[in-house]
Structure 1
Amino acid sequence: MTYTQPRPAPTAQHAPILPDDKARAAELWESVKGTALEDDFRRVSREHPDKDASRMHYLAFLADIEGLFAAPEADPWEASQPAPVTQPVLSAPQPEPTPEPEAQPTPAAEPAPDPEVHPDATPAPEASTPEEGAAEPEPGRDAQDAPAPIATLAAPVHSGLIAQLAGLLADGGELTFQLLRVGGDVTIGIFPKPHPGEAVPVPFMLTETPDWMDANLVTAMQGYAGARRDAFSVAQEAAQRQQAANKKAADKPAPTPAKAKTSVLTLKAAEGTTLKGTLGGKDVPLVVGKNDVPQGTLEIVATHPAFGEVKKTVATHANKEHDFTEQQGARVTVNVTPQSAALEVTKGDTVIALHHGIEVLLAPGTWVVNAQAAEHATANQTISVKAGKPQVIEMTLKEEQRLF
């Protein structure tokens, strides 16, 4: 019969660290982070460099950390047991009910128009028929190009007053007849409407007794009637010459304006830049990239919300390029160790994210570069940026001892 001595139970000196111990230390670190006890927590961590060797060492580290939270009257030798860490139970999000679409009212159909004509409606004008003897337009020529028909005077007659007055008028003509009595005499005035192209016509005025007018008025109007026919002929000839001149001007092709000479101007600028050009007092639209601009001296203003406003005068007599980024700022590259560190550069309220080894365009002025990485001390570096002068910044973050 063989006797086997039982193995002794492992003690805390050799037992492994439990996850609850680590969780308790993490919980205590979150409670002091950013407070006055943060420095004391770091000091206790440095005083236990072998805390990861066994559970006994780790419990001693936890006891000293718990002592930071003990009340002044409490016994310093009584260490509280680590409180169990409870994880919150997260419930699965419930989907929101989908609202049913509201019923849209069906628009009422508009009533069909009444085909009956309203009794007050104005009847449509009847189609006019061309007068006999009117000149028809030549085939293949538009009606607008055809000369306007020339009115003709009626043949002079001497049978009576009305017939004589009608002989003064062309088709569609108009005159005003005025009769004025002063004592035993009467004054007759005839005021004709001007012919097309005629200035203010001279009226016919005659003062005699009524009996004399009855016997001699038609004869007295003969000379005036002849003068009106001569005036009508002059006005008609002038109208014909004007129509011919208008037709000749319409048939003559308009001269082709000479095409203005242009050049290609290629512009580069930071993203978000607005460009405005002026040449000879006139605005010239510009964009980042290629532009067709008239030749001359072009004044350009580049505006950016972060880089401000810069100006440049360019002679555009030939194809050219211009890069505004050299005026807007400088390209800065930050190399950091470790490369996984988070980088950002700040200037007042402006914050720009950076990446290791990748250049970025910064406006002139003083900037602060911030770098952070896990288990490393945060680092800051102030730099001065000058337009057109690139620079490379080297940063190395100091590694920190593990806190827990």
Structure 2
Amino acid sequence: MPYTQPALAPTAQHAPILPDDKARAAELWESVKGTALEDDFRRVSREHPDKDASRMHYLAFLADIEGLFAAPEADPWEASQPAPVTQPVLSAPQPEPTPEPEPQPTPAPTPAPEVQPDATPAPEASTPEEGAAEPEPVSDAQDAPSPIATLAAPVHSGLIAQLAGLLADGGELTFQLLRVGGDVTIGIFPKPHPGEAAPVPFMLTETPDWMDANLVTAMQGYAGARRDAFSVAQQAAQRQQAANKKAADKPVPTPAKAKTSVLTLKAAEGTTLKGTLGGKDVPLVVGKNDVPQGTLEIVATHPAFGEVKKTVATHANKEHDFTEQQGARVTVNVTPQSAALEATKGDTVIALHHGIEILLAPGTWVVNAQAAEHATANQTISVKAGKPQVIEMTLKEEQRLF
């Protein structure tokens, strides 16, 4: 394993006391207050006047307090050794064949004076019977941690159990061990929980002997922080899932229908209308139109009257008459009324009728009138858009030849 000189975290000897340590001490005090262990608790507290100097001193104080609740051999490496002690107990049934020891009393009377020094084996014969009661203290040592477990997780626990406590189901961590001189540096690098940023590793430098005695205790606060980080990441993931489900279940809002107005347009027969609003084409016809609200640009095109434009604000219902832009209304009154009338402008010829209004494009027009037995008459008029006019014409009668 390559050696790197990491920026080491402060050791427990110099690290500040964690809130979890204080909370553990308070929990233990509440459990003994008013009981026979209260005086022992106070005694242990007086034996550690410097417990607030550093986390290492405080953990030593906690370890002594924990000792009030468990047997002295509660250390994991010692508690795991009752197995060989129980072997004789399990084999205790072997001395049960008492028929063999029973013959011993019969020879005992004759060599009684000589057997007195050998009286020690007699108690040995009874030791299996007394030894049968020995499993009771063993079971007491095994049952001792149970009241501690009801308060909180034991401070003194196995290294593997402590490392497993850092992991969620399927979790992963990297364990690194470096040696420099007489000290060793231990580094624990957890894999981030889902939704968690890069976790802070656990780094500790001390002597190997100190590690053997105090590593598990020094890891207590870090293990609690990792469990809190997992809980936070899990709650965040649950909230995100709930938000995603709520968003998926929420119905898609129906887009609001665009507001429209009624626009009524008038124009000369044969006029083509085209509208544009916000860069988009708006279909228009002569008559009523439902158009979006806004500023509408309209182009009216006619083969005789040409092209005219108009900009209309359509925030309310409106009307517009393009004929006022396309030309002027002209009325011709002629005598006799039966005369034939027409208006000409270049190549354009439009038939007129007596007393009937007609729309003429702006410009100069010539009105011609003809009637039987009357002289033909012509009149030039100037038509201006939006300005109607009435033309009066009288034809002279012609003298009959026969």
Moved more, 53-62 or 382-391: 53-62
Taking a change above 3 Å as real, the CA distance of residues 116 and 82 of structure 1, as seen in their structure-2 partners, is closer
Distance (Å, rounded) in 2 between the aligned partners of 1:147 and 1:5: 40
Taking a change above 3 Å as real, the CA distance of residues 361 and 193 of structure 1, as seen in their structure-2 partners, is farther
Distance (Å, rounded) in 2 between the aligned partners of 1:402 and 1:71: 156
Taking a change above 3 Å as real, the CA distance of residues 133 and 24 of structure 1, as seen in their structure-2 partners, is closer
Q: Is the 8 A contact 1:345 1:370 kept in 2?
A: yes
Q: Is the 8 A contact 1:152 1:170 kept in 2?
A: no
Q: Is the 8 A contact 2:189 2:201 kept in 1?
A: yes
Tell me the alpha carbon deviations over residues 293-336 of structure 1, each in whole angstroms, 9 at most, x when there is no partner.
11111111111110001111111111111111111000000000
Q: Residue 379 of structure 2: which of 373, 376, 381 is its match?
A: 381
Q: For residue 275 of structure 1, report the CA deviation from its aligned partner.
A: 0.7
Q: For residue 252 of structure 1, report the CA deviation from its aligned partner.
A: 3.9
Q: Is the 8 A contact 2:3 2:178 kept in 1?
A: no
Aligned length: 402
Consecutive aligned runs of 4 or more in structure 1 exceeding 2 Å deviation: 1-112, 115-253
Q: For residue 364 of structure 1, report the CA deviation from its aligned partner.
A: 0.2
Distance (Å, rounded) in 1 between the aligned partners of 2:183 and 2:10: 156
Moved more, 199-208 or 392-401: 199-208
Q: Where does the alignment leave 5 or more consecutive residues of structure 1 unmatched?
A: none
Q: Is the helix fraction higher in 1 or 2?
A: 2
Taking a change above 3 Å as real, the CA distance of residues 8 and 26 of structure 1, as seen in their structure-2 partners, is same
Tell me the alpha carbon deviations over residues 204-248 of structure 1, each in whole angstroms, 9 at most, x when there is no partner.
999999999999999999999999999999999999999999997
Moved more, 209-218 or 310-319: 209-218
SS in 2 for 1:375: coil
SS in 1 for 2:270: coil
Q: Is the 8 A contact 1:155 1:167 kept in 2?
A: no
TM-score (norm 2): 0.40
Taking a change above 3 Å as real, the CA distance of residues 297 and 374 of structure 1, as seen in their structure-2 partners, is same
The CA RMSD measured in Å over matched residues stands at: 63.8
Q: Is the 8 A contact 1:42 1:403 kept in 2?
A: no
Q: For residue 180 of structure 1, report the CA deviation from its aligned partner.
A: 41
Q: Is the 8 A contact 2:11 2:204 kept in 1?
A: no
Q: For residue 403 of structure 1, report the CA deviation from its aligned partner.
A: 3.2
Distance (Å, rounded) in 1 between the aligned partners of 2:210 and 2:102: 96
**1:216 maps to what in 2?**
214
Taking a change above 3 Å as real, the CA distance of residues 71 and 306 of structure 1, as seen in their structure-2 partners, is farther
User: Percent identity over the alignment?
Assistant: 96
Distance (Å, rounded) in 1 between the aligned partners of 2:321 and 2:109: 63
Q: Is the 8 A contact 2:69 2:148 kept in 1?
A: no
**1:43 maps to what in 2?**
43
**1:97 maps to what in 2?**
97
Distance (Å, rounded) in 2 between the aligned partners of 1:398 and 1:221: 129
Q: Is the 8 A contact 1:370 1:381 kept in 2?
A: yes
Q: For residue 353 of structure 1, report the CA deviation from its aligned partner.
A: 0.7
Taking a change above 3 Å as real, the CA distance of residues 191 and 357 of structure 1, as seen in their structure-2 partners, is farther
Tell me the alpha carbon deviations over residues 100-128 of structure 1, each in whole angstroms, 9 at most, x when there is no partner.
9999999999999xx99999999999999
Q: Where does the alignment leave 5 or more consecutive residues of structure 2 unmatched?
A: none
Matched, 1:296 2:294: yes
Moved more, 287-296 or 155-164: 155-164
SS in 1 for 2:39: helix
Moved more, 178-187 or 188-197: 178-187
